Structure formats: C-alpha cells, structure tokens
Chains A and B, each alone.
Chain A
Amino acid sequence: MTTHCAIEMTVNDKRYTGLVEPRLSLADFLRDHLGLTGTHVGCEQGICGSCTILLNGETVRSCLLFAVQAHGATIVTIEGLAAKAKSGDRLHPIQQGFLETVGFQCGFCTPGFLMTTYEFLQENPSPSEEEIRERLTGNLCRCTGYQNIVAAVQWAAERLRAR
C-alpha cells in the first residue's frame, strides 16, 4: 500500500526533494523531513491556524494539504520570514512588532499569526483595528487574549509604511 512519491519544492529559497507517502501532510513534511519545526500543529483540523505558511505567495494551512500537493511549489515558513526583511535587518518588522508589543506568551500560535500578518499587510498596509481583528479570526491564540497581537500588527504596519 505504501507507494512513495518523489516531490520537490522550494522552501525559504532552498530547493528540497523528498520521497514521501501520499498521505503525509505538508506540515509533517516540513517539520519531520525538512526539520523546519517552526510550523506548529495545534489541531490538524484546519481550525487553529498555527500551521499557516505561504504557498506560492498565499497563506495556507499546511495541516490540510498533502506534501504531494505542494510538488513544484514555492513555500515560505516562519524560518524564512526574517529573510523577507530589508537587507541588514535581522528580523522582519512583523517579528519585531510581536517582540515590541509582546504579542505572544507560550509562542505556540505565534508562527501562524506572523505568516497571516505577512500576507495581510501586503494586501492592506493601513488596516484599522477592526480590520486587523477580522483578518486574524482564522488564527487561534489561547494565551494572549489577542490584544497585544493586534497591537503587534499595528506596530508592524506602521513600520512597514515608513520604509
């Protein structure tokens, strides 16, 4: 029953190949095969958003995709976010924003929020608080009550607009 499929994809600007079972989720491939454990799995049911990554420039829930579906894709995970910063910056403004406003506690949901925010601020560089809250509904956080996360997004938006 276990046929393996050859896949290849670009993750955080590096090319990877793999031989995987069709049932392997993309999240598991990133975490267990590529060692990119910053993508977290909080539910495996597509609800919590901790596993959010960028696939061909758009956010997806990597727990809901099979690795084989990402064959040929270009992926950015949390580990690749800093590289999207202006050259010379060690962290992306969104990462800085979460640190500045303490938009995390246990940190488990944080990578998902950062990836969602990355896409969101490209679409909407000057969001209102209401728009931020609306956009973040797809990511659950059990620790922070969201207040500092919203502030982090505002902080990052301002910083990104300024540059």
Chain B
Amino acid sequence: MAETSSRFIGRSIKPYKSKRFVTGDGTYVSDVCLPNMLHAALLRSMHAHARIGAIDVKEALAIDGVVGVWTGRDIEERISPFPESFEIHPLPWLEGVKPVLQGPRPTALAKGKVHYVGEAVAIVVAADRHRAEDAVDAIGIEYEPLPVVVDPEESLQPGATLVHDGSNNNVVFSFSIEKGNVNRALGAQPTMLRERFRHHRYCAAPLEGRGVVAWVEPKTHMLTVWSSTQMPHLVRRQIAAQLDLAEENVRVIAPDIGGGFGPKVFVYPEEILIPFLALQLGRPVKWIEDRSEHFISTAHGRDQLHDIECAFDQEGRILALRDRFLLDNGAYNPMGLTDAYNTAAHLQGPYKIPNLSVSGTCVSTNKVPNAPYRGAGRPEAVFVMERCIDMIATRLHLDPAEVRRRNFIQPQEMPYQAGILYRDGQPVCYDSGDYPETMNRALQGAGYTELRARQPELRRSGRYVGVGIACYVEGTGVGSFEGAKVRIDASGRVIITTGASSHGQGHETVFAQIAADLWGLTPEQVSVVEGDTASIPFGCGTFASRSTVTVGSAIHGASAQLKDKLLQVAAHMLEANPDDLELAGGRVSVRGLPQRAVSFSELARAAVPGWASKLPAGLAPGLEATFYFEPRTVTWANAVHVAVIEVDIEIGTIKLLDYVVAHDAGKLINPLLADGQVHGGVAQGIGAALYEELAYDENGQLLSGSFVNYLLPGSMEVPKIKIFHLESPSPLNPLGVKGLGEGGAIAPPAAIANALADALSPFAPRVNAIPLTPDLVLELLAQKEVRSEASAV
C-alpha cells in the first residue's frame, strides 16, 4: 500500500457526531427504557466481616410490586463463581517472574460470609426502583460479626484474621524481580535513603456510575445487555460462561459511557445477575448504581505502602534501589497483579538504575476490592521514584533537575533495555524518546530558572512558593490484541468497526482521521462503530492507554488488505493493471487518466455474490477486511510535569500557581483531543494529591462515602494547564503512535509532593504520603523540631 498521506493525521479536528452531548441526546445505560421493564436493587453488607445467618424475605416479598428476592443460596447452583482475576498471564511472564497467584473466587452474591461493607448479599426485582429499595430494607438478615482486618500490615501478622475461609494467610498475589546485585550495591554504599512511602486509597469516581439493562427477546431467546463497561466483549464472555449460554446468543452493548478510567474494565456481579434475572423472569431488568453504592461496590484504586532503600554516589547517581511494597487488595483483586506489577515495571522511570530489586505483595483486607484506576500502578511508582530523586538532591545540595539530568537515559541510548520483564512477558525496552529534552521543555514552560532565582526573595517576604518536578515513562498500547473491521458499503462509505469502546476519548474522530488518510477520504466519509459485540467477533476494550496504538494499527492492517482487494476489483472493471491505479476522493482511477475511474460505491455494488457480481474470477464477494493487531510489546511514552505551588503555612492549604506538562506520546493524531486527555488526567491527579481519600475506620466502615466528604476537584482547584508536545515516533507500529489516555494522572501526586517539600524546605519536611491535606501540611510543619534533632544523629 502506498504511504499514508497526512492530510488529517496530526490535525486538531473537533470531535465528530458530538452534537448529542450538548442537546441531551446522548444515550447512557440509565437512559435505556424498555416496555414492561423491571427494576433491581441490591442488599449490601453493612458489616466488613461477618457470617451470614438466617435471611428472611417474607416481608420483602409481601410488598406490592415486588417480583422476587434472590440470595447467594438461590443462585449458587445457577451462576458459577467469578475467576480469581481477569488478568491474562502470558507464558513468558509466568516463567520469567514466577508469581504467586492464589486469589479467592468471588460469587455474584455473598455466600456464608461477607468480606467488606458493600458486598452484595441479595437482589430484589420490583416494578420500580422505589419498591425494590423498600423491599431491600424489609429483608431481615442475621449477621454474626467477625474480627475485621483493615490494615494491610496487620493482615500479614501471624494469627491475623483471615479474610477468606480456607486460606492460610492473607497474601493472594506476590512476586519479586531483580536485576544486577542489589545486596552488594547497597552494602558497598554509605549514602543511602531509607524511606517509607504511602500512596493512599482513592477512586476513579466517573460521573456516571455503573449500570446494567438486560433483555431477552422472547421468541429467539437472544439476550441483549447494555452495560456501562469499558470491555463489552469480556462482559459477553463472562455472561456466557457463568450462565452457561452460547456466546452467539449474547450481545453486549456499551452505549455512551459517562466516564470509565479503569474500574469499568472487568466484570461485576451485577453484570451477571441482571442478565440472569432477565432470563429467569422473561422481562427486561434494569439496575442503575447510585452514588452511595458506587463508593462501596465499584473498585477502589492505588493503596500501596513502599519501603525503599536507595544508594547513590556523591554526584547524585543512583546505584541501587530496593523496594518492598504492599498493595492493599481489599477483599478481592479482580485484576490480579496488574497494578502491582505495573508499579514494579515502571519504578525505574526514565533513569539508569544498575541494580534493582522490587517485591510486591497483594494482601486481602476487609475493604472494597482494589483494581486499576487511570495509571494503574504507575502513579504509585512515580511517587516513590520522584520523591527519592528530590531527597537525593536535598541531601547533596543539588538542584533536583540536575540530579534528574545525571540519571537520565540519553536519547542516543535508545532503544534502551531496562533489564526487567514487562507484564506482556517481553523485556522492558524503551523504544524512543528524548528524556532530557522533555524535561527542558517543561522547565522552560514553567520558567524554572527564574522561579529558582526568585525563591529566596519570596521566602524573605514570607511566601512559601515551591516547584516540583516529576518525570515518568509509560508502557502504552499493551496487547494482547485489538481488531478493526474495515468495510466499504454500497454508498461508498468506509465503515470501521472495533472492539474498543469510547467513553469520552474521541475515538470516533481519531479513528476516522486515520482511516481518512489511509483511504484518501475526508473523516466525514468514514463511520466508526464501537462498543457492540454484535459488530466484531473479538475485542479487548478500552483501557491502559491502548486504543490509538492498537486500533489505529489494526485499521492500518485491515485497510492494507482491503485496498489490495479493491484494486483488484477496480483493475478488472477498468481493464487496467492494479499497479497503474490510484485512489482519491472515493474513486479509483487509472493514473494520468482521471476520467477512467470507478467509485467506491460502484465497486461495492460490483463486489457482490450472484448475478450482479462483476468480480474477477477467484475473488470472494464483499469489500471487507478484518485485522487483529497483536503488539509484540508496549511502546513507551514519556512526560515531565512541573507543579508550582504556594503554601499558606498558617492554615496548611496549598494553591496551585502553575502546572506544566511536556508530553511525548509519539506521533499525535489529534493534538486537540490529546490535550483534553492530559487536562482530565492532571485534574484527577490533583484530586489524588490534595483532596481525595477513601478512609476506613477500624471496623472497616468507609468514612468518605459520598461527594460531601470525598472531594472531587472543581473548577477553582484545577488551574490552567500548559502543555508542550514532543513527538518521538514509535518504531513499533505503522503509525508511530503511543498511548496517552492515562498519562496526565500519573505524575501530579509526585510533582505536587515535590513542590510541597520544596516550598517548605526551611522546615525540612518529610513528605512521604498523600493526600496533602491542610492537616498533613500543619503536621509536617510541627515536626520540624523533632526532625532537625534526628538528622543530627
């Protein structure tokens, strides 16, 4: 196929077909309304850990309009349990890392005992949601409370309460990786950091919670399920497997989705229960999560505790790093080692670290399950690494930017082998990028040198202004695959179908831009169909900054195949040689003879079976090709964030004065939409750094279960973000692209924590945990005296 001309790739085109979002015509799951529809509500455990005794549903069933109540007992024979995790482990990774994987298998409704506040215990179906909730309140249930374990370190102690019956301890997943010889390197080096870092528990909180509608067509028994999911194909597979149905009789649609960000990447109990009930009752059933349920039933994220030792020389070069960390799983971890292993694989960041040892342990506690949230293990790694770099700078009285420069992998060292395995089983190999230049751009954008020059004067006038840098690399576009079907229909339009599903990223536009360039069309002449299992047999979904890379490449592959066929048909019709043909404006013409041409529409109508066919002999009917892109490994994006903050040391508040991002995600398809992804990610990272926390009390009760005390950043908290793009093309895919959906959220906690440590440097604060609430800031200030004595030792 001829080289792609870049008429649309790289342009800031506004999203297509978006009018529905400003007219109220978007269709989210909660907008799906079917005749004769019933409504479900769930009884959720109020206890963090308890045995379930007798359940009395009589009163609930007596309520007018209630159709039925189901408990764990009622479904145990009919809905098989969930897998221990939805993570797929490639063989080379299993062999290389040899992880421990022994997670418990959750059931759709709790059976025997409950493991966290929020776990589903029973489900009610009624004529409307109010009645369903009345019935939930009327269920009588006896619990025998059990001791609760909420602290991940305690859960590891001998004799600790066991979260799951039948287990020997609370460890469910663990692994360690090593390169070089960390023991020797640490032993040989006197200058050392020994620190404990905590990256707390918070959550994605998409503005639309989860929701499921299921409907069985009474005559064909075809089950259609609408779900607010990032993974329609996985949901279909799981429904079929757990309800023992044929996959071809199950269709899952992900309609407009009101934000995903990670926790919608696996399959939840309700996604199995609601289809089950629709099948049982022969009527459509709908369940929409409310916000209070969301906080106790949709997966939380992060929650890691790191103990590190880091050796460095007098120039600030890191010689060795050992990190032992705990990840608080909560009661289950549906994505297995995804987060924990990502943390390990990203810990080195853009730096040369000759000796590294990382061990991660995921432990069960009586809390909501933990799963990937935008960044998925990377913000935790970056927080650790970037705090270390700044601490080294402080110890050696060096500028933190200079310490980074001394440790950076240099552009001429690309591709760079980082010496460990990625979770796809391939060696981590940074494919392209210029890390020093990315940092230069960010520092220039922030006016770093001038800020540093002004700092002493600001301090003298009582202003605590700090600058924080955070760098990261991000493996993007992970496998195992994504597909695209490219089809030309009788109207001459190019139709792209994929298993990915957009929830605000602007896929439609980006994929149309790619296809338009490949086909010599305008993006308006391309249609994109997503989020429907009926439209393409296999799909992974949208997560892990992967869609532009994987779908873009699949569109490229499928287009190449289809173009080949199209040219053969055209050559036959025009009585020309395929090599003499060219494609433009929806037509194929003989080069130099534009009037000898045939349109895509004519070609589509010729490429049919039967009497109307004008196909050359031996060519199968239909203008359609499907290509599944299976990336051998990820492509590495990188970025540098700079936060400028001012601290009010009287009341402990932090104000963001400036926020700069220099970002390299390879070739950009649409800078305007890329900026939007960065803005949103940074806003979430700011929330994580300063405001959002899912805190539990010692009884395992969630203390911040509503937007009243779980504070999302608003329009006053998120500053204007300055973005600078660099474009180091990826050599690993035909478009040269890298992923960028998650990036924005990865660095803000580290950048802002570094800025705080910098702002308060006269007090030598130990900024080792987030969120940086006013209380924490005041506490750091109060520790000043103690600290200066300790460091004199």
Contacts and interface: CB of A to CB of B under 8 A. Distances in A.
Nearest to A96: B22
A144 B208 contact: no
Contacts of B721: 145, 147
Q: Most chain-A CB neighbours within 10 Å: which of B25, B258, B718, B721?
A: B258
B14 interface: yes
B715 A150 contact: yes
A78 interface: yes
A136 B207 contact: no
B189 interface: no
Interface in A28-84: 31-32, 35-45, 47-48, 50, 77-79, 81-82
A102 B275 CA distance: 36
A95 B23 CA distance: 7
A23 interface: yes
A140 B707 contact: yes
Interface stretch (B162-170, B466-474, B499-507, B618-626): B499-507
A142 B744 CA distance: 13
A44 B290 contact: yes
Interface string A1-41: 01000000000000000000101100000011001111111
Interface residues of B, number: 55
Nearest to B25: A38
Contact of A105 (B30, B130, B505, B715): B505
Interface stretch (B192-200, B321-329, B672-680, B775-783): B672-680
A107 B258 contact: yes
Given A47-B706, A145-B682, A102 B672 contact: yes
B291 interface: yes
Given A108-B258, A146-B718, A102 B706 contact: no
B290 A82 contact: no
Interface in B706-750: 706-708, 712, 714-716, 718, 720-721, 744
Main secondary structure of the interface of B (DSSP, over half): loop
Interface in A81-136: 81-82, 91, 95, 98-100, 102, 104-111, 114, 132-134, 136
Contacts of B68: none
Contacts of A144: 676, 679-680, 683
Q: Most chain-B CB neighbours within 10 Å: which of A100, A106, A137, A141?
A: A106
B476 to A, nearest CB: 19
B286 to A, nearest CB: 10
Contact of A43 (B23, B25, B706): B706
B256 to A, nearest CB: 7
Contact of B718 (A32, A48, A147): A147
Contacts of B64: 2
Nearest to A21: B130
B213 interface: no
Contacts of A140: 207, 707, 712, 714
B15 interface: yes
Given A91-B22, A106-B207, A146 B683 contact: yes
A108 B14 contact: no
A43 B208 CA distance: 9
Contacts of B683: 142, 144-146
Interface in B686-713: 706-708, 712
B259 interface: yes
A149 interface: yes
B508 to A, nearest CB: 12
Interface string A133-163: 1101101111111111110000000000000
Given A32-B33, A102-B676, A145-B718, A48 B207 contact: yes
B207 A147 contact: no
A87 to B, nearest CB: 17
B259 A108 contact: yes
Contacts of A111: 24
Contacts of B261: 142
B21 A107 contact: yes
Q: Most chain-A CB neighbours within 10 Å: which of B259, B292, B673?
A: B259
Contacts, number: 170
B206 interface: yes
B715 A136 contact: yes
Contact of B15 (A40, A48, A102, A109): A102
Contacts of A107: 18, 20-22, 26, 256, 258, 504
Q: Most chain-B CB neighbours within 10 Å: which of A77, A133, A140, A145?
A: A145
Contacts of B33: 32, 35, 37
A136 B714 contact: yes
A40 B258 contact: yes
Contacts of A24: 130
A109 B208 CA distance: 9
A98 B684 contact: no
B516 interface: no
Contacts of A35: 33
A50 B207 contact: yes
Contacts of B70: none
A32 to B, nearest CB: 7
B19 interface: yes
Contacts of A36: 24
Contacts of A109: 207
Contact of B504 (A37, A43, A143, A150): A143
Contacts of B676: 102, 105, 143-144, 148
A47 B683 CA distance: 18
Contact of B256 (A95, A99, A106): A106
A38 B682 CA distance: 28
Nearest to B131: A2
Interface string B219-261: 0000000000000000000000000000000000000111101
Contacts of B93: none
Given A105-B505, A110-B21, A42 B679 contact: no
B205 interface: yes
A111 B205 CA distance: 18
B716 A134 contact: yes
Q: Most chain-B CB neighbours within 10 Å: which of A35, A141, A147, A149?
A: A147
Contacts of B27: 37
B707 A106 contact: no
Given A32-B33, A145-B679, A114 B22 contact: yes
B74 interface: no
A75 B22 CA distance: 18
Contacts of A133: 715-716
B504 to A, nearest CB: 3
Contact of A100 (B14, B19, B292, B503): B14
A41 B289 CA distance: 11
A31 B64 CA distance: 23
B31 interface: yes
Chain A to chain B: the 6 pairs with minimum beta-carbon distance, closest first: A38-B24, A105-B504, A108-B258, A107-B21, A145-B679, A106-B504
Interface of B: 14-15, 18-28, 30-31, 33, 64, 130, 204-208, 256-259, 261, 290-292, 503-506, 672-673, 676, 679-684, 706-708, 712, 714-716, 718, 720-721, 744
Given A35-B33, A78-B24, 18 more contacts: A32-B33, A45-B707, A47-B707, A47-B708, A77-B24, A99-B19, A100-B14, A106-B206, A106-B259, A106-B504, A108-B207, A111-B24, A139-B714, A142-B684, A143-B676, A144-B680, A146-B718, A149-B715
Interface of A: 2, 21, 23-24, 31-32, 35-45, 47-48, 50, 77-79, 81-82, 91, 95, 98-100, 102, 104-111, 114, 132-134, 136-137, 139-150
7 contacts: A37-B33, A99-B22, A104-B21, A106-B258, A140-B207, A142-B712, A143-B676
